[in-house]
């Protein structure tokens, strides 16, 4: 899926769960960052463009490999928990898993249990007709959750 669709889904999820947060704005931003994090291995992605030399090097290890896996986010969560940021690690993981979930609907799929080969695939290619519907649905759902939480 495209970066904006990942952001919209993460926006919806973070607005739905906004009652959990101690710092709502910062928490939503961390969830949004987490939703972009897996595509750090693609230098053409939103986050990949921001960290260009790094993303280009990471792509050499393959797109949708280690950086699209539960292993990566588990290691990152452990690292953040070790330094006392487990809550932000959990928010980052929420956005990250939302990314994997949506990428699982594409024919290219994802391997959430990397390095094992089991793959989750779906029928909707990145940029297909379904993405604008998902995008607007998630944005409207997120706004509705925000309004209802006020």
Residues forming contacts to Zn ion in the complex (CB under 5 A) are 38-39, 103
CB of 41 or CB of 80, closer to Zn ion: 41
CB of 39 or CB of 131, closer to Zn ion: 39
Q: Which of 113, 106, 99 is nearest to 41 (CA)?
A: 99
**Whole-number minimum distance, CB 10 to Zn ion, in Å?**
12
**Whole-number minimum distance, CB 38 to Zn ion, in Å?**
5
**Whole-number minimum distance, CB 34 to Zn ion, in Å?**
12
d(CA 57, CA 7): 24
CB of 38 or CB of 48, closer to Zn ion: 38
14 close to 139: Cβ distance less than 8 angstroms: no
Q: Which of 17, 6, 30 is nearest to 101 (CA)?
A: 6
DSSP string, 81-134: HHTT-HHHHHHHHHHHHHHHHHHTTSSS-B-TTTTS---B--S--TT-THHHHH
d(CA 105, CA 121): 5
CB of 5 or CB of 27, closer to Zn ion: 5
**Whole-number minimum distance, CB 31 to Zn ion, in Å?**
16
**Whole-number minimum distance, CB 129 to Zn ion, in Å?**
19
CB of 24 or CB of 125, closer to Zn ion: 125
């Amino acid at each position: 899926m495209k970066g904006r669709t990942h952001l919209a889904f993460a926006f919806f999820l973070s607005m739905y769960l906004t009652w959990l947060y101690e710092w709502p704005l910062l928490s939503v931003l961390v969830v949004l960052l987490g939703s972009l994090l897996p595509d750090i291995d693609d230098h053409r992605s939103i986050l990949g463009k921001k960290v260009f030399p790094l993303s280009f090097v990471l792509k050499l290890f393959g797109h949708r490999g280690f950086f699209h896996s539960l292993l990566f986010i588990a290691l990152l969560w452990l690292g953040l928990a070790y330094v006392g940021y487990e809550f932000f690690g959990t928010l980052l993981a929420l956005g990250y898993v939302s990314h994997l979930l949506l990428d699982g609907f594409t024919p290219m799929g994802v391997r959430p249990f990397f390095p094992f080969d089991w793959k989750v695939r779906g029928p909707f290619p990145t940029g297909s007709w379904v993405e604008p519907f998902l995008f607007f649905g998630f944005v409207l759902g997120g706004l509705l959750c925000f309004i209802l939480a006020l």
